[in-house]
Structure 1
């Protein structure tokens, strides 16, 4: 009996490892042009650190590719992990991934354009304030903080893209607002992702098979926990309001009866 249970647990673990690895590989394939430029940029920085023009060209290429390649593929990956977190672990990874890719492509692309433009503008401002304008380093630090908040809000953006039916501007606004209102879980996602990236630097093969999917899984898990908690609080507030309205109606009714009784007395 114990052997049967152990075999069942091992089979379940193997099944989950396969799902995570397959989802991660699909994401890597769909983002391969972007990842190729990132790898080229990294190797160039190591081998020829003085190649500033080539680095600048790489940055431009990454900025152009991000909305059309990185964002749609990441939304598709979040669509898969959303099913898992919500209890639908037996869904087809391939079908769910590419259904999410197709359904969310336009919205994630438009959101990617907004995010990319904001990142570029804020990064340029940060660089100018920190390196070229004396006495404006404080403004540069503020820009750096805003850049971090904007980056962290990406986790909420992808989670909300696959979980809600909203217009793109609403998604962008709500992703940033949720980051500011509920920073603990989102920043814990950032810290967890940083740990996974560090592990990946020690064993780069993990990037291909596991790490990006694990980041998305952790991010959506935190988002869904926040979403569930906010729903519970909203229901409690609604219930409290209904009880308050009931009590108010009861008090008004009792007060009316009291007045009538007082009026009938000689």
Structure 2
């Protein structure tokens, strides 16, 4: 009994150390890409490492997998990221204009709906990107289809992000030292669950 408790504590400590190390790598490689060109491949690499943890072993090498993903996906992730960021900025600009100047409730509602669809598509973007090989624009279409087709996992991701928001608000230090992997982990976990069930049903 006592040994099991000790092993459990050591396991949690080991997991926390890996999360902090992964966050540290995200910061370093984001800076190496001058932030603008480093954020997307570094975030992709975080999801790739978590995918390896879920599919293989929590002891899968972190730096090796991180660096491999960062290098292999650098150009492609930045190309896709430019469009994603552009869409997000466009929606934010439209929302701001609608809220402050136009004042048409129906138009404002439509922009909010489109913004929500953009958000839930974004939830699946990185998990899909690090798991599958698709044509360029399928990386936008497939996450959108998954977000609508797997409502349980989508809702679970949203709830996990809300809980993390309050957790980081109460304990901001955790966001500073481990924020990106802690945000990425539930997204990758629920997406992995959806992928596994879909692939099992297709087999």
**CA offset at residue 184 of structure 1?**
2.9
Name the SS of the counterpart of 2:133 in structure 1: coil
**CA offset at residue 195 of structure 1?**
1.4
Name the SS of the counterpart of 1:88 in structure 2: coil
Deviations 1:7-45 (A, max 9, x none): 3333322211211111122223334599xxxxxxxxxxx
Question: Aligned-residue CA RMSD in angstroms?
Answer: 2.2
Residues 27 and 77, structure 1, Cα contact 8 Å, conserved in 2: yes
Q: What is residue 25 of structure 1 aligned with on the other side?
A: 24
Q: What is residue 182 of structure 1 aligned with on the other side?
A: 150
Does 1 or 2 have the higher relative contact order (CA < 8 Å, sep 6+)?
2
Q: What is residue 60 of structure 2 aligned with on the other side?
A: 91
In structure 2, relative to structure 1, the CA distance for the partners of 1:82 and 1:29 (3 Å cut) is same
Partner residue of 1:166 out of 116, 134, 137 = 134
Deviations 1:63-116 (A, max 9, x none): x955x2322111010011001111322111111111111112222111111111
TM-score, normalising length: structure 1: 0.69
Structure 1 stretches lacking a partner, 5+ long: 35-63, 236-266
**CA offset at residue 143 of structure 1?**
1.0
Name the SS of the counterpart of 2:28 in structure 1: helix
TM-score, normalising length: structure 2: 0.89
Structure 2 stretches lacking a partner, 5+ long: none
Partner residue of 2:72 out of 103, 115, 128 = 103
Q: How many residues align?
A: 203
